[in-house]
Amino acid sequence: MTILPPSSRDPAPAGEAREADCSVTVTGTLDGAAVEWKLPEEVPVAIHFNSVPYAVMMATPADLEDFAIGFALSEGLIAHASHVANVLAFPSGDGFTADVAIPEDNFIRERMVSRSLEGRVGCGLCGIAEMADAIRMPGGKLPHRPLDPAAVARAFEALPRFQPMNAVNRTVHAAAWCASDGRILLAREDVGRHNALDKLIGAMARAGQSPDGGFVLMSSRCSFELVQKCALAGISALATVSAPTALAHRLAREAGLSLAALSKQGVMIFDGEMNGHP
């Protein structure tokens, strides 16, 4: 069996972004006038491995094959996308199920954590039952990939053109894979920043896009879970719209992952030691 082909919802060329197909329209008032607003869907997505339930995440129901594969990679459950035999996403109850088939020899079961409840939007840790499972960084350091402030700024300027869903609802996060010069090559959106990153990681894997030489750009703050997901997926540079938390900064330095963020003065590269408590 083979992995399903990449989604037809790849970002359109600059200036040709399409309206996403998973928004609903509501009516409200603005300054006394009736207006319409499109809202993104937020539904439970059950992730199964070999038809066995593993986690339920609240997510936007788009690019679910990318989501499932990216989740497996960013959780460290597989070492490479080629280790996935098949993935199938289908409606299930009030949401969807994404079932990933992985040969037993390729399943890294020691990376699995015990989850006792669903994962809410914006939370990368919900459902994890043991504190020791919260931080699960890979061993060793990533190849050093310095970030060019001009390239990061160029990517941030282009990002809205790769956000068709956000263009109509101004609600969802985006994660984009960028070449070293700031050109956006792939992008994915979701109401949850962790989900958007998982979708991007899966899309990159399915498109045969190597994590070498580029960087991830995100429309969110930099929490440690994003650093952890990038590190486990072999991505060694991450730029976010706001500064990292102290834990994210510390873990990024330990993993050799380069960080950048927007500031009032421009793009800041985080390459120095922290002062204060470790």
Q: Name the catalytic one among 123, 126, 178, 230.
A: 123
DSSP string, the chain: --PPPPPTTPPPPTT-PPPPSSEEEEEEEETTEEEEEEEE--EEEEEEETTEEEEEEEE-SSSHHHHHHHHHHHTTS-SSGGG--EEEEEEETTEEEEEEE--GGG--GGG---B-SPBPTT-SSTTB--GGGS--PPSS-PPP-PPPHHHHHHHHHHGGGG-HHHHHHS--EEEEEE-TTS-EEEEEEESSHHHHHHHHHHHHHHTT--SSS-EEEESS-B-HHHHHHHHHTT--EEEESSPBPHHHHHHHHHHT-EEEEEETTEEEEE-SPPPS--
CA distance 50 to 88: 11
Specify whether 123 is catalytic.
yes
C-alpha dihedral sign at 111, 52, 54, 2:
positive
Active-site residues: which are they? 123
